């Protein structure tokens, strides 16, 4: 019997057990201490207390993520719905020891991923811009991401569909969704964007008094514009460069034309380096065009 078990363990055709099916025993007290440190650090604004930190770490452990990856890659709604960043799901699949995927096609129109189990191909998952249109995604809360970063969005949808179809046990019984699939606004990397606080109701102002911020309705506040300028300085982007970015990609002439629902997206693009990368790409294209003219 023991010999038979040894042969089974050595059989290369037998898929290895998934990490989350036999997770390492982690002391709850250690998890609680880690969560307390995460909260105290102040770096994770969506983790307001130790309990929330513990829940995120445990949700990440279900798919084999470590504590830090869980804090960064797990998102839990106010109603307790769990979703994972595309990178976290991709990591869980590739580190499972049983499943894998590879990119067959990826462009601005479609993404096809080939999935395998135990080294054998089991199927493919394709998601197209036409699929996104039929699902109403191109006009949804993440319409800007679909317009400017279609490959990122197509990859995430093809990945989660494939995970459900071909790697169901990677989630340990939890269906793997990204925040975007749950209708949450995300940035180009799939991270959840913080919602801007709702404006104070008219009754909050003394009778006859005007709001302290005279910014007209439909535009971001002066304070938000100042934060954009400060973030541009930190990112090394000049006002003229940012004006070029706004005009080319968003059709805007000034930061005064940025609407409130675009504010988080714009700020995230500056912080995440997307504005700088776009500007660098324009410089590269201009240099290449200049060299062609010289030839």
Q: Between vectors from CA 89 to CA 85 and to CA 94, what angle results, nearest 5°?
A: 145
Token pair recorded at residue 229: 């300028």
Per the CB < 8 A criterion, the answer to whether 55 and 144 are in contact is no
- Picking from 265, 164, 181, 276, the residue whose alpha carbon sits closest to that of residue 224 is 265
Task: State whether residue 129 is helix, strand or coil.
Answer: helix
Residue carrying structure tokens 């034309």: 257
Least confident of 23-27, 36-40, 111-115, 167-171: 23-27
Token pair recorded at residue 76: 């839990």
pLDDT in tens, 13-63: 445 545 444 444 457 788 888 889 888 888 887 888 999 889 999 888 888
Alpha helices, DSSP H only, in the chain? Answer: 2-10, 28-41, 50-61, 67-73, 86-94, 129-134, 143-148, 150-166, 222-235, 239-245, 260-271, 274-294
Token pair recorded at residue 47: 């983790």
pLDDT, residue 69, reads 87
pLDDT, residue 205, reads 47
pLDDT in tens, 60-87: 888 888 888 888 888 888 778 888 989 9
Q: What's the CA gap between 58 and 80, in Å, rounded?
A: 13
Alpha helices, DSSP H only, in 65-124? Answer: 67-73, 86-94
pLDDT, residue 184, reads 80
- On the question of pLDDT at 213 being above 50, the answer is no
pLDDT in tens, 133-142: 998 888 888 8
pTM here?
Answer: 0.59
Return the sign of the alpha-carbon dihedral for residues 274, 275, 277, 282: positive
pLDDT-derived band at 160, boundaries 50, 70, 90 = very high
If one compares 270 and 21, the residue with the highest pLDDT of the two is 270
- Picking from 177, 173, 166, the residue whose alpha carbon sits closest to that of residue 15 is 166
- On the question of pLDDT at 153 being above 90, the answer is yes
pLDDT, residue 2, reads 43
- Which residues, in sequence order, are bridge partners of residue 74? 84
Task: State whether residue 215 is helix, strand or coil.
Answer: coil
Q: What's the CA gap between 268 and 220, in Å, rounded?
A: 15
- On the question of pLDDT at 115 being above 90, the answer is yes
pLDDT, residue 290, reads 55
Least confident of 91-95, 186-190, 224-228: 186-190
Q: What's the CA gap between 143 and 236, in Å, rounded?
A: 27
pLDDT, residue 1, reads 42
Mean pLDDT to the nearest integer, 180-201: 66
Average pLDDT over the chain, rounded to whole?
79
- On the question of pLDDT at 167 being above 60, the answer is yes
pLDDT, residue 288, reads 58
- On the question of pLDDT at 6 being above 50, the answer is no
Mean pLDDT to the nearest integer, 214-226: 74
Q: What's the CA gap between 53 and 290, in Å, rounded?
A: 53
Q: Tell me 186's DSSP state.
A: B
- Residue 24's CB is within 10 A of a number of other CB atoms, namely 6
Mean pLDDT to the nearest integer, 265-287: 81
């Amino acid at each position: 019997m023991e010999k038979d078990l040894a042969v089974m363990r050595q059989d290369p055709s037998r898929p290895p057990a998934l990490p989350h099916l036999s997770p390492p025993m982690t002391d709850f007290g250690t998890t609680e201490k880690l969560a307390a440190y995460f909260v105290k650090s102040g770096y994770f604004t969506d983790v307001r207390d130790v309990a929330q930190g513990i829940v995120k770490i445990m949700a990440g452990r279900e798919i084999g993520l470590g504590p830090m990856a869980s804090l960064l890659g797990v998102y839990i709604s106010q109603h307790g719905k769990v979703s994972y960043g595309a990178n976290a799901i991709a990591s869980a699949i590739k580190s499972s020891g049983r499943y894998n995927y590879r990119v067959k096609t990826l462009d601005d129109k479609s993404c096809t991923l080939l999935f395998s189990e135990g080294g054998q191909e089991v199927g493919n998952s394709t998601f197209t811009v036409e699929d996104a249109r039929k699902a109403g995604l191109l006009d949804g809360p993440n319409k800007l991401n679909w317009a400017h970063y279609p490959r990122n969005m197509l990859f995430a949808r093809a990945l989660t569909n494939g995970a459900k179809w071909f790697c169901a046990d990677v989630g340990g019984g939890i269906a793997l969704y990204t925040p975007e699939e749950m209708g949450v606004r995300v940035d180009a990397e799939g991270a959840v964007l913080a919602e801007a606080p709702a404006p104070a109701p008219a009754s909050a102002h003394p009778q006859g008094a005007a709001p302290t911020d005279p910014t007209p309705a439909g535009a971001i506040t002066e304070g938000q514009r100042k934060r954009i300028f400060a973030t541009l300085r930190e990112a090394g982007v000049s006002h003229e460069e940012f004006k070029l970015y706004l005009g080319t990609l968003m059709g805007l002439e000034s930061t005064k034309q940025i609407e409130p629902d675009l504010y988080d997206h714009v700020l995230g693009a500056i912080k995440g380096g997307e504005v700088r990368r776009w500007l660098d790409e324009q410089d590269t294209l201009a240099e290449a065009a200049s060299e062609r003219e010289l030839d």
